[in-house]
Chain A
């Protein structure tokens, strides 16, 4: 039981969440809509950056998992009060948090795999960029899920939560260089793009695939930031899940 964490029940709750999400198949289907629309724009306006946009679409799709965790955790807590059913049980708060976020991840995996398949066709990367991609996407999932879960516990009304959900998605998913190349960002702001979890992930994958030229300093900054954010926020998410399981 590393770090005193208890994972019993995680798989069962993950399976529950997959089942719940699959009933909303339309939401899963439309989950790729924004990415699809952005890719069409890129196809029409700047076809040469399509591989970069596809990498961005993958990063963005995984980042959206956090928004869904936010909405689901808030809905289950505020509208259904089911968090109390689970928190007053042997299943640990960390199992609840990870079970929910991994269940949502698995449910939304099919559209992500579709984008990955398109990427394979349009820009056939080697194994290294794909390995970097998987590592980066896991870090992005960790960051976004933890942020989403944290925010979901802060409010007592769904309507208050919705603006935060879209604010974070747009500020971290659309504005930074996720769908467009890093080199278009003014030099003075480049560090910020390399520190943000979404754009650092996109930059690292693009760098590994040869779609962007990154200095070793860039790689260190982006990789270090993403690793710290991914691991740090995962532990914070677990800490917060435990704290939120019992109101002060």
Chain B
């Protein structure tokens, strides 16, 4: 049995407001993350991902329930937990009037890391995040993606045993995203544990070893991306453009999932020809591809991840 890095039991959070009704952001989240694992919390905006991450990282008190980091209760022992964690906040930005090199180094020094180690780790993190050429430019002059990479570099340089990353690749181009993914994989290979939130399905699939799909403050399903995709009921997906109203006609071929005007039919290879023939008779265009996490998400949540 792998050592548990993070364990949550029935965590609930209700935000009370003077100007409106109380909002139940978390409605009993339970999960466990093993040491050295990369786990993603996947969900639409408002699903409760950030709230959970902020509770687990000692920044927010839960209304009830318990979160433990390496066996330490985050509510009762935050000071003991904090040296073990590091956080990339959602939409966090580096100090604009520091360079990425200064930003990373200053943060490591503030965490109590000695000068030599801080210098070495700063250079390593800058290199990992491909920030070498812009390491001495003020962050205010950097693009949004470069600023985000500086934030990720700041946190990975800590080499904290448990990293929380709230939407770490938001605003990054595909190359930069892959570079962040690779760095995070490398970190977990060296023993760090990563809990990240994302609403990028490809990121959750490519990066996480396990994922939790959250919706309206609850965990709807947990498992590996493959396990979730298998739950959909097939290995291939036929997407029929403008076929949203024809789910009854296609229901006998497999699982039908409607997304806006389109219809996705999840099925096996033996039914593909029949589905395509029916689509052609209806004068609709159809494309075939492997089942993705998107279908799994649609099936589990009932809505697209981008739907507000």
Contact A79 B59 (CB under 8 A): no
Contact B109 A12 (CB under 8 A): yes
In the complex, the answer to whether A88 meets B110 with C-beta atoms within 8 Å is no
Interface string of A9-42 (1 = CB under 8 A from B): 1001101100111011000000000000000000
A84 beta carbon closer than 8 Å to chain B: yes
Q: A16-B110, A90-B83, A247-B59 are in contact. Are A85 and B95 (CB under 8 A)?
A: no
**In the bound complex, how far is the Cα of B92 from the Cα of A159, in angstroms?**
19
Task: List B contacts of A245 (CB < 8 A).
Answer: 59
Q: Which of B86, B93, B94, B97 contacts A88 (CB 8 A)?
A: B86
In the complex, residue of chain B having the shortest beta-carbon distance to the beta carbon of A23: B97
B94 x A80 contact (CB < 8 A): yes
Chain B's closest residue to A96 (CB) is B110
Question: CA–CA, A99 to B109, complex, Å?
Answer: 13
CA gap between A87 and B83 in the complex, in Å: 10
Residues of B in contact with A, size category? 35 or more
> Does B97 lie within 8 Å of A86, measured CB to CB?
no
| B254 at interface, CB cutoff 8 A | no
* Bound CA–CA A91/B154 (angstroms): 15
Chain B residues positioned under 8 Å from A183 (CB to CB): none
Give bound CA distance, A89 to B85, whole Å. 7
Chain B residue contacts of A81, Cβ below 8 A: 89-93
Shortest beta-carbon distance from B272 to chain A in Å: 48
Is A170's beta carbon under 8 Å from chain B?
no
Query: Does chain A have a CB within 8 A of B215?
Result: no
A8 and B112 contacting across the interface, CB-CB below 8 Å? yes
Evaluate contact between B60 and A246: CB separation under 8 angstroms: yes
For residue A2, CB closer than 8 A to chain B, the reply is: no
Minimum CB distance partner of A95 in chain B: B110
Cβ contact of A24, chosen from B61, B97, B109, cutoff 8 A: B97
Residue of A with least CB distance to B91: A81
Is A86 a contact partner of B61 (Cβ separation < 8 A)?
no
Tell me, in angstroms, the Cα distance from A87 to B61 when the chains sit together.
13
B residues in contact with A87, CB < 8 Å = 58-59, 82
How far apart sit A20 and B90, CA to CA, in the bound complex (Å)?
22
A67 vs B122: C-alpha distance when bound (angstroms): 33
Q: Is the CB of B60 within 8 A of A19?
A: no
Q: Judging by beta carbons under 8 Å apart, are A15 and B61 in contact?
A: no
Residues of A60-80 whose CB lies within 8 A of B? 76, 79-80
Q: Bound complex: CA of A46 vs CA of B138, how far in Å?
A: 46
Measured CA separation A88–B112 after assembly (Å): 13
**A248 close to B (CB within 8 Å):** yes
Determine if B57 is an interface residue (Cβ-Cβ < 8 Å). Answer: yes
Q: Is residue B253 within 8 Å, beta carbon to beta carbon, of the partner chain? A: no
B155 contacts A85, C-beta separation under 8 Å: yes
Interface residues of chain B, those whose CB is within 8 Å of chain A, are 54, 57-61, 78-79, 82-83, 85-98, 102, 106-107, 109-112, 138, 151, 154-155, 158, 164
Sample of 18 more A-B contacts, CB < 8 Å, known A16-B95, A248-B61: A13-B110, A19-B106, A21-B97, A23-B97, A23-B138, A76-B95, A80-B95, A81-B90, A82-B89, A82-B92, A82-B94, A85-B87, A87-B59, A88-B86, A89-B107, A90-B82, A95-B110, A247-B61
Task: Please name 18 pairs of A and B residues whose Cβ atoms are closer than 8 Å in the assembled complex, sorted by A.
Answer: A9-B110, A9-B111, A16-B110, A23-B97, A76-B95, A81-B91, A85-B107, A87-B82, A88-B58, A88-B87, A89-B83, A89-B85, A89-B86, A91-B110, A95-B110, A245-B59, A246-B58, A247-B60
Residue positions of A touching B, CB distance < 8 A? 6, 8-9, 12-13, 15-16, 19-21, 23-24, 76, 79-82, 84-92, 95, 99, 245-248
